[in-house]
Structure 1
Amino acid sequence: MEIFSWLPVKSIARCRCVSKLWNAVLRRPDFTELYLSRSSSRPQLLFVLRNMDGVVFFSSHQPQNPVENSSFAVASHRLSHLPCHSGIVGPSNGFVLLRGVRGRKKQGLVSLQFNPSTGQLLPLPQVKTRSRMFGTFSCMGYDSVKKQFKALSVIFSDAKFEYSYLTLGIGKPSWRLVECCIPHLPRTEGICINGVFYYVGTRLKNSSMIVCFDFSSEKFSFLNLSGPMENATSLINYNGKLGSVASDSFNGGDTGFELWVLEDLEKKEWSNHVYVFPPVWQNVVEKTILHFSGVVGTNEFVFVPITLSDPFYVFYYNVEKNTVVRVGVRGMEAFGGYRVKAFSNHVENVERIRAF
């Protein structure tokens, strides 16, 4: 298993075909945990390219502490043109959730649990309601305590909201209602950090808040957005903590940004950080429009262009050194003009999705 854990995912798939013994070994939970541990030491950037036809997945090596603008990475192709119309949630423990995928004739649009490493996908069962449904919001996260993937669904129907969750991977999953003391409408795609899913929600009186759903306890909690934090509605993973900034898009004209970090969820305590870009930021970024992709290590902020161009660069801003480095990414040139969404610190997971 030690040797297997260093192989790429495609080689693991081939090795499963060698014999029944190898297949059994490579499906064991302890091997999955070992492979995840190895993958965590070599995290990747996961690129999701999107146009009217659907989404395309790529991944590339994530450089640690890049120091030269001349460095580059090569992106490897994952899956082409999977029809996805309502956004992507993730990744969480190597898996993502695709929303608004065309299902069977009677299903309409469904959500899919998807493993970019293996290409496996599984449609989530549709949520049933007796009321007239006007819309749904679905998200997925990983419960590290029970080692299970779980999904949350918010249904808007006849001026009321219903909240349900399901557990994936054990038997036939079924949605279960969960109580929520504050009716709200989800406003952002959200992010899962350490088993808690965060997204910005709007109350019926149009006031905003951060909604927290703990996949382990399966309970809601809420964080008010008031005062100086009122506009900090773009959520990121900051070293395993929830981070919030006022905007998700940046360009060479920006001088810096303000970051709020949730230090204690129970006490609802935040810390505030103000970062000022160095003068070279304007020359390196120029007119490129960027979005946050995450944080590498403890001090490297990752910015990715929102549109794929040739050449294509990823920008790393080191807050301690106050430096900006751009790294070229090759291999995606055939998809010029596609919209780009990127996730840093992606890990490869060889766990196979269990059908139901």
Structure 2
Amino acid sequence: MNKGRMNLKQVDFKLKQCQSIAQVVSSDQIEIMEAKVDNSSTLFKLKKRRSSPLIMGSFLGLALTQQNRIKRRRRTKKTTRITRRSRDTSEIPLDLLIEILCRLPGKYLARFKCVSKQWSSLISPRYFCELLFTTTRGKQQPHLYMCLVDDDEKSALLSMSATSPDNTCFVVDQDLSIPAMGGYFLNIFHGLICFTVRKKACVYNPSTGHRLTLPMIKPDIRADRGQVMYIKRHYMGYDPVDNKHKLLCTIVMYRDRLFNLKSEHWVFVLEAGGSWKKVVPHEIYRPHAPFAVGQYCISASVVHYLAWHDMYTCAIVSFDFRSEELTTIIAPDDVRANMSIPALEMKADLIEYGGKVAIFEHSNLKIEGMVVLWVLEDAEKKEWSKRSLVLQPCQRHLVQYTEFIVKGTTRDGKVILAPFEMHYGFYILCYDLGSNGLSKVDIKGVPHRWFDKECYFDLRLMDENESLFYLET
């Protein structure tokens, strides 16, 4: 105990001595700066007094050496820890690593391809995208894309995400505007967005930011006197056998009121070196013009859209991306009943209802609060079923003063109705076919320059996981 106490006292004494020596060193430095060079006696005294800090220097050198040893030891431990961690990561089974990647936030997967060659080889192939699509299907919030085009041909492509579990509000989270984007008919399939840039089609992947501009089509049909090209529509689909995405383009020429109607169709395979190929129709093929709003419905590898053969004949046109064949089914006469010129008066479009193609006709929604649902029960036998729906009286005010257009269906089967003009406020309505009820969904965060101005718009709803399906594009 006495030796321990003496050691502590000695250590305390040495510390005080070092502190006093440090004070002397600092004061001597000031005196040296103030001393004159020619005063040799003064310099001699100062040098003599500075001999004592040599003891302090030995202590400091020992301390620095010990400190460097500690730092080297820490660096060695850190390097060993990193090496062990990388070794542990490389030992993760491949199937387990794929499962982990499938459960990571999807918006980061495109960036994770830069982590390593191994991760890039796992994330890029099509089978991983299909596995990701299957694993996360129905587990994420839907995403809304809106395209706006004004009279000055200024455009904006906005991405919006739901901010509430019941999807009653969407907020703009990203501006995906692309220069010279002139089309406002959006087509979205497997996360790929198709629109037009001047006279060319453009396919855009919002997950990766990649854009593919397709070559311009040189149609075989020629405009007669007084006839112009009025319509050019694009529809995307998927060939599951060849495992390829394809694009269908319908070109239409006609005079006023669909007189002298001409149409032709072209297919583009989304792959390196792809080119447009003209579709050879059947002998019984009749020219047609797609509905102005451009809505469509996809089931398996077939895309369906409504079209007019003339001002009075409405039909469902189907195109199989596998066989690249066109088929047409004439809509029931009752669909266009009580309309003098159905092509100008009828308000309808295609939706998916219970896994079947259906016509959602809402010409009397504004006045009578009623819609009629025509379901194609059997395409081969051309059998239809009819169902009339009457809106609840307490919700009639939502549709009495505005014209609406159909913009597809939600994940739970609700029909999306968008106001024909949205420059006074941005929102959509969701029509529940089961309860005949409407729910209003607000759209917030749209730039103020789009308010109180005439503009065209188009929007599409898509699950967030669908945007990850085609990461390699």
TM exceeds 0.5? yes
User: What does the per-residue CA deviation read over 1:62-109, in whole Å, with 9 as the maximum and x for residues that have no partner?
Assistant: 97766xxxx53433225025544344242222223213x13xxxxxx1
Secondary structure (helix, strand or coil) at the match of 2:359 reads strand
Aligned AA for 1:351? Y
Give the counterpart of 1:336 among 446, 451, 463.
451
Secondary structure (helix, strand or coil) at the match of 2:176 reads strand
Measure how far apart 1:182 and its partner are. 1.8
Inter-CA distance 286–94: structure 2 relative to 1 (3 Å threshold) = same
Map of 1:158-307 to 2, 5 A cutoff?
161-169=263-271, 171-180=273-282, 181-188=284-291, 189-194=294-299, 195-203=301-309, 207-230=313-336, 231=346, 233-247=348-362, 251=366, 253-284=367-398, 287-297=401-411, 299-307=413-421
Q: Are 1:302 and 1:316, in contact at CA under 8 Å, matched by a contact in 2?
A: yes
Inter-CA distance 161–353: structure 2 relative to 1 (3 Å threshold) = farther
RCO higher in 1 or 2 (8 Å CA, sep ≥ 6)? 1
Question: Which residue number corresponds to residue 34 of structure 1?
Answer: 131
Distance in 1 separating the partners of 2:319 and 2:183: 21
Q: Are 1:111 and 1:138, in contact at CA under 8 Å, matched by a contact in 2?
A: no
User: What does the per-residue CA deviation read over 1:159-207, in whole Å, with 9 as the maximum and x for residues that have no partner?
Assistant: 7544332322254334144224323132322414122222333336863
Question: Which residue number corresponds to residue 159 of structure 2?
Answer: 58
Measure how far apart 1:345 and its partner are. 4.1
Q: Are 1:46 and 1:343, in contact at CA under 8 Å, matched by a contact in 2?
A: yes
Aligned AA for 1:223? I
Inter-CA distance 286–121: structure 2 relative to 1 (3 Å threshold) = same
Map of 1:88-103 to 2, 5 A cutoff?
88-99=185-196, 101-102=197-198
Question: Which residue number corresponds to residue 105 of structure 1?
Answer: none
Unaligned segments of structure 1, at least 5 residues: 103-108
Inter-CA distance 310–211: structure 2 relative to 1 (3 Å threshold) = closer
Secondary structure (helix, strand or coil) at the match of 2:206 reads coil
Map of 1:31-180 to 2, 5 A cutoff?
31-37=128-134, 38-42=136-140, 44-52=142-150, 53-61=154-162, 71-99=168-196, 101-102=197-198, 109-129=199-219, 132=222, 134-135=228-229, 137-146=232-241, 147-155=243-251, 161-169=263-271, 171-180=273-282
Secondary structure (helix, strand or coil) at the match of 1:183 reads coil
Question: Which residue number corresponds to residue 351 of structure 1?
Answer: 470
Measure how far apart 1:332 and its partner are. 2.1
Measure how far apart 1:302 and its partner are. 2.8
Greater radius of gyration (CA): 2
User: What does the per-residue CA deviation read over 1:49-72, in whole Å, with 9 as the maximum and x for residues that have no partner?
Assistant: 312312313232397766xxxx53
Secondary structure (helix, strand or coil) at the match of 2:237 reads strand
Aligned AA for 2:313? S
Q: Are 2:149 and 2:184, in contact at CA under 8 Å, matched by a contact in 1?
A: no
Distance in 2 separating the partners of 1:205 and 1:29: 44
Inter-CA distance 292–190: structure 2 relative to 1 (3 Å threshold) = closer
Secondary structure (helix, strand or coil) at the match of 2:468 reads coil
Inter-CA distance 309–333: structure 2 relative to 1 (3 Å threshold) = farther
Which one is further off, 215-224 or 256-265?
A: 256-265
With normalisation by structure 2, the TM-score equals 0.63
Secondary structure (helix, strand or coil) at the match of 2:114 reads coil
Aligned AA for 2:416? V
With normalisation by structure 1, the TM-score equals 0.81
Distance in 1 separating the partners of 2:426 and 2:276: 43
Question: Greater strand share, 1 or 2?
Answer: 1
Distance in 2 separating the partners of 1:341 and 1:291: 10
Secondary structure (helix, strand or coil) at the match of 1:149 reads strand
Measure how far apart 1:286 and its partner are. 5.8
Q: Are 1:183 and 1:203, in contact at CA under 8 Å, matched by a contact in 2?
A: yes
Inter-CA distance 233–184: structure 2 relative to 1 (3 Å threshold) = farther
Measure how far apart 1:246 and its partner are. 2.9
Secondary structure (helix, strand or coil) at the match of 2:269 reads strand
Distance in 2 separating the partners of 1:35 and 1:25: 11
Measure how far apart 1:312 and its partner are. 3.9
Q: CA RMSD in A?
A: 3.3
Aligned AA for 1:342? L
User: What does the per-residue CA deviation read over 1:259-312, in whole Å, with 9 as the maximum and x for residues that have no partner?
Assistant: 112223222222212111111212455634433233335553333334446764
Q: Give the count of matched residue pairs.
A: 342
Q: Percent identity?
A: 24
